[in-house]
Amino acid sequence: MSNGNDMVPTKSLVKQGTTGVGGIVGGAVLLFLGGLPGIFGIIIGGLLALGGVGVAAASKEDRTAGGVVAAAGALTILSGIGLGIGGTLLWFSGIGLLGLGAYNVFKFFRGLRSRR
């Protein structure tokens, strides 16, 4: 059982910090994409979808990341067209990523404080 004074390993701290910042930035981007009006949403969503498919096709290691970007692009297109499901899914995903990112940043700072 941990007493709260155990030092968190550096590797774990780096992972928590990176995941936290990535989640916050990713959540903010998804909320931004969901709020793009009409033609801007269609154009930017199309570029994201094509870019994501290109990344997924080019590298086996980046296939998941490319698929996620392509899906975000497709949802942005749906949002730009006016279909509510795209914007709704982007909003929920953005809020979820913001929450996960904030939690990981909290864990990062708590672990950093335990190193003092």
pLDDT at residue 6, rounded to an integer:
67
Which ranges constitute the DSSP H helices of the chain?
A: 10-34, 38-58, 63-81, 84-114
Which pLDDT band holds residue 51 (cuts at 50, 70, 90)?
Answer: very high
pLDDT reading at 49 higher than 90: yes
| 75-88 per-position pLDDT tens digit | 888 888 877 788 88
Which pLDDT band holds residue 62 (cuts at 50, 70, 90)?
Answer: confident
CA distance 23 to 5: 27
